[in-house]
Amino acid sequence: MAKNLRAKIPESDILAICDLNADVKQKFVAEVNASGVEIAASPKEVAEKSETIITTLPEPQHVKSVFHNILKDGLPKSDKDRLFIDCSTIDPASSREVAGAVCLTGWGNFVDAPMSGGVVGARAGTLTFMVGASSKTPGLAQRAEAVLVLMGKKVWHLGEQGAGLSGKLTNNYLLAITNIATAEAMNLGITWGLDPKTLGQMINSSTGKCWSSDVNNPVPGVVEGSPASRDYQGGFGVSLMKKDLRLAVAAAEQSGTCLELAEKAEKVYDATEAEHRGKDFSVVYQYLLNKSL
């Protein structure tokens, strides 16, 4: 994401970066080989130097902690209202809490903009962003979109602040289920003696086609370059899928929405993570194989 951003913003603009991993920061500077990159010592330093601040963090508590530190003791005046774009996948309620803090302090505007597309999409600049932005600030969603299209291919404005996260969790709940279903279907067909590649091609020309069967097929060798064909390395980690599923289920409970498949899916990802922590979430297929033995 940051590479695409640096490549597409004006050369005169400065890109300030911050990460807990010092090696990652140094590697990024070396890879982009650009003079317009600065390493900041903290998220607050990034905010002090920037008009647009993009955050991507693992969990709600991390987002809250970072924004607490950014907003604490204030920020210097800026010629243009600061825009905080949070691309983290967290629960909508936590995002609204942070947005409220930003609004209350008056140090800028906040939008939620979680993304879909994984590591491959981030590198290729083909991510899809789901945006939630307050309609009380005219042009806020459009301003965020102008930044996000530098890192992705599609931006969906789904409504008020928090709506982007609602859309992302809806999407990832479906993805969590279709991933398990694809793994089960492929395992079933292979057990019956069908050739994996032929089976995958047939499904992808029929009504069973989905992202999990076509792009991220969980069977090694079916899709060249997929995580499954690289010992499930890279891609979207099973722990991250487990987290997104948990957030979706919690949000559904708050809204009183029935999710019949949620409990079973959570058990599957719990068991898969225990056996294959650190692997792409399509490793659910290997979990099924182990259970079939």
Enumerate the active-site residues.
Answer: 168
From the CA atom positions of the chain, what is the Rg in Å? 21
Listed residue (227, 229, 215, 221) closest to 182, CA to CA: 215
CA–CA distance, 217 with 89 (Å, rounded to integer): 24
Listed residue (271, 282, 277) closest to 186, CA to CA: 282
Pairing verdict, β 152-159 and 109-112: unpaired
